[in-house]
Structure 1
Amino acid sequence: MRNLQLIIKREYLSRIRNKTFVVMTFLSPVIMVAMVMLIAYLTSLNNDEEKIVGVHDVSNIVYDQLQEQENTVYLNLSYLDLRTAIDSVDKKEYYGLLYIPSGETDAELSSHVEFFAKEAPSNFFLSDLEQKISGVLSNRKLENTGVNLATIENSKAQVNIKIENFSGQTTSKMASYVKMFFGGAAGYLLMMFIIIYGNMVMRSVIEEKTNRIVEIIISSVKPIQLMLGKIVGTSLAGITQFFIWIIFGSILLFSVTAIFGIESTSIQGQAAATAINQDEMQLFINDVLQLPLGTITVAFLIYFIGGYFLYSSIYAAIGAAVDSETDTQQFMFPVILPLMLGIYVGFFSVIENPHGIVATIFSYIPLTSPIVMLMRIPFGVAWWEVLISLSILFATVFLVIWMAAKIYRVGILMYGKKASYKELFKWLKY
């Protein structure tokens, strides 16, 4: 046990004292905050960009109904012929020209509407324009048949369905998106941490094997102690780095937003665009508060420990089986595949049906359960399902550590021979 503690301490200190580790620990939050601020700034610039659209309305029935929206101005160019109007818009670099021809029927007119532009306009802009023109033509058709539009408008009823669970708690329509965000973020972060810190373990094993330091170390400790010490020591260094990222990143983000106030424009613009009233905002806040945040946090830590030990053991075995990082490529795809599969199942199955058969099965499979189950927990999962998933996961962890230790024991002293899957299977029998 003392030897294991010494190895853990050695691995931990060697990691946190590494110049690259120190630089990236403090530089990564700076880069992330800078990216967030840049995205917010560019989004505000994009939202403030004014669109000038020329309108060539031969039928003279649409232009008057085109209300100028925020950042969109419509100019009537119907007095020009079409070719001159197109050249004028192109020369003045307007957003585009809307051409509405004349037609004997509304159906004929609507099928010949065109939009001329140097580059293809955004789908949102075109969709909004199509709805406006469609509304104008529909109203015109109703008026021609003698229908009173005012009567139709007054007869319209707006229905706002309120969502309430069986226990009486009211939720907003964005509740599923809130759960999706928290679950997706937790699953994705877990996958990234497993890959990053698992690779650290593998590189450390390869480095010591290449430098022949391991030959001296294993004369004093057992190979399994050395492997576990590397895994635990690297995980503690990773957790230290993670907490520094959270604390330093939060302070940095708060300071930058307070000084420059970049978030104010983007948040105000989004609030105006979505027109969320106070009731909806309160329901949204309630949705966040009603999430099992404590359960999500605890589950993240437990599944991180399980998933990290599971994959890090595999990474350590791979590092012991090869002589250089280049030789690891043949073994990496089967390791990365379950993690990617867990992410895809999470985003395409859990979010659509968190309690479906696919989501449930993959939340029990140990190679994917750390990601998939984390994505399911915000949607509400029975405690016994989580218990079964964790039991299978940690039972598999002990099995994989045992198998990885056998490969590690043989491979750590094997040089000059490229290991194959057949060779690794033989090592398990030693």
Structure 2
Amino acid sequence: MSILTLIIKREFIAKVRNKSFIVMTFLSPLLFVGIAAFVGYLTTMKAEVKNIAIHDETGLFVKEFKNTEEYKYLDLSLIDVKILKDSIVNESYEGLLYIPKVADTKILESKIQYVSNDSPSLTFLDQTEDVIAKKITKINFENAKLDTLAIQNAEAKVSISLTKSSGEEGVKGLNEIKIAIGGAFGYLIMMFIIIYGNMVMRSVIEEKTNRIVEIIISSVKPFQLMMGKIIGTSLAGILQFFIWAIIGLSLMFAASVFFGVNVGPTAKIPPEMLHSAQQELAGTAQMYIKELWDLPIATLILSFIVYFIGGYFLYSSFYAAIGAAVDNETDSQQFLLPIIMPLILGVYIGFFTVMNNPHGTIATVFSMIPLTSPIVMLMRIPFGVPWWQILISIAILFGTFFFVVWFASKIYRVGILMYGKKPTWKELYRWLKY
């Protein structure tokens, strides 16, 4: 058995036998499910109703406001405004909407006040302004002796239906769903690159601090030790992903059996059990399910594994070099930001560029750049990416990994035996020449 294989085996067993690794491997899926259920429960809880006092001196607007689950409007136009304002101070009401009486509706547009102790939400203000604006517009039409009913009937309500070039009916919002799926995979890669990369860095720092590395390095080349740590930790990460996938599928199967949730692409709802509106909603849901099932799921999953391995190998080389260059985690902070920034950039490029133009120049270029391709390419794949672009991106990613390993091993070789001195960027550059 080669030395590299022994190092990989040692690192893998050390990570897998770690108690925190075992606990989080089986506990994390349950935590995610529990958090999702808790968030779902919170969304079903009714918010506390807020009482909004209305003092309408015109008598034209108070009836336009309808109570909702969140706001209750109270007509207090007969009570003096000063008393109502005092009530606001004493928090008897959430706020006071004061509509004064003026001679012209044009003047009224800028005279309405909302009095409250706390600043209201923009949504509440927009809705309130919209109600008042519609009423003033209607009054202006009537003053101009315009037929408001005819104007209302003349208002066009356009609903564009989507159709594919193949003739099949399309659905709205599919791009948002695709970017959410790709973004979830990309975000997982970013999160686990940081998590497992830090594990490699801590492992190097720990061995360096305990002086164990001085014994190991006498019989093992620094390059072999670095590669063994990277590959051993990556195998532990892949095993963890595999276990999570099994647990996730098991939970989905349990949900389908015990709660009657059909998670397959051919879920059917009996038409006789539904009213027409419900049938339309069910039909729309079936279309979304069909569109999701038509996504390149196999390509996405396979690419996720490949890009996870490539991205992890690439960034872990940086983490290993940093771990060898410093004596403790505090000293490593100055070197971590340049490593994390490309990952964050990839997320922003994905959400703000890929969704609007997945095959544009910016999205295509950043899906080829190895520091951002593990995230950006995974966000592009749900939109359909030519296979040759994926292959080129993967080839560049792994080619860059071998290049980074070459110069990272130079830093690792020198830094692994350096103690008691905080390295600078200038010194790291000097180590590359040794």
Q: TM-score range by the shorter chain?
A: 0.7 to 0.9
Separation in 1, partners of 2:163, 2:189: 32
Contact 1:30–1:252 at 8 Å: present in 2 too?
no
- What's the counterpart of residue 388 of structure 1? 392
> What letter is aligned with 1:135?
K
Could you say which residue in structure 2 is the equivalent of 1:187? 186
- The CA distance in 2 between the partners of 1:283 and 1:105, in whole Å, is 52
Which structure 2 segments of 5+ residues have no match?
260-279
Are 1:50 and 2:53 matched, yes or no?
no
Q: Which amino acid aligns with 1:351?
A: M
Q: 2:324 aligns with which of 320, 323, 335?
A: 320
Deviation track 1:376-409 (CA, whole Å, cap 9, x = no partner) reads 2222222222222112111111111122223323
Q: Which region of structure 1 is more displaced relative to structure 2, 24-33 or 124-133? A: 24-33
| Map of 1:25 onto structure 2 | 25
Match of 2:352 among 327, 337, 348: 348
Paired residue for 1:410?
A: 414
**Deviation of 1:359 (Å):** 1.9
Match of 2:262 in 1: none
Query: What residue number does 2:3 align with?
Result: 3
One-letter code of the match for 1:362? Answer: F
Question: Which amino acid in the other structure matches residue 20 of structure 1?
Answer: S
- Return the match for 2:281 from 277, 280, 294: 277
* Partners of 1:3 and 1:247 in 2: CA distance: 33
Q: Alpha carbons of 1:277 and 1:198: their partners in 2 closer, same or farther (altered >3 Å)?
A: same
Distance in 1 separating the partners of 2:409 and 2:314 = 12
**Distance in 1 (alpha carbons) for counterparts of 2:399 and 2:84:** 73
Write the mapping of 1:4-153 to structure 2, written as runs, cut at 5 A.
4-45=4-45, 47-88=46-87, 91=90, 93-153=92-152
Whether contact under 8 Å (1:53, 1:95) holds in the other structure is yes
1:186-208, CA deviations, whole angstroms, 9 ceiling, x for partnerless residues?
21111111111011011111111
Residues 245 and 172 (structure 1), Cα distance of their counterparts in 2 relative to 1, 3 Å cut: same
Correspondences of 1:116-265 after superposition (within 5 Å): 116-248=115-247
Q: Report the Cα distance in structure 2 between the residues aligned to 1:115 and 1:286, rounded to whole angstroms.
A: 48
Q: Percent identity?
A: 54
TM-score by length of 2: 0.87
> Aligned-pair distance for 1:71?
3.8
Contact 2:61 2:135 in 1 (8 A): yes
User: Could you tell me how far apart the structure 2 residues matched to 1:382 and 1:395 are?
Assistant: 20
Q: Distance in 1 between matches of 2:427 and 2:347?
A: 31
Question: SS where residue 115 of structure 1 aligns?
Answer: strand
The amino acid of 2:150's aligned partner reads T
- 1:80 and 1:255 map into 2 onto residues whose CA distance is 60
Q: 1:166 to 1:199 in 2, by over 3 A?
A: same
**Hey, what's the Cα distance between the residues in 2 that align with 1:289 and 1:258?**
21
Question: Does the Cα contact within 8 Å between 1:33 and 1:249 map onto a contact in 2?
Answer: no
User: Which secondary structure state, in structure 2, belongs to the residue aligned with residue 138 of structure 1?
Assistant: helix
How many Å apart are 1:102 and its aligned residue? 1.3
> 2-side partners of 1:257 and 1:40: how far apart?
18
Residue number in structure 1 paired with 2:315: 311
The answer to which of 419-428 and 92-101 deviates more is 419-428
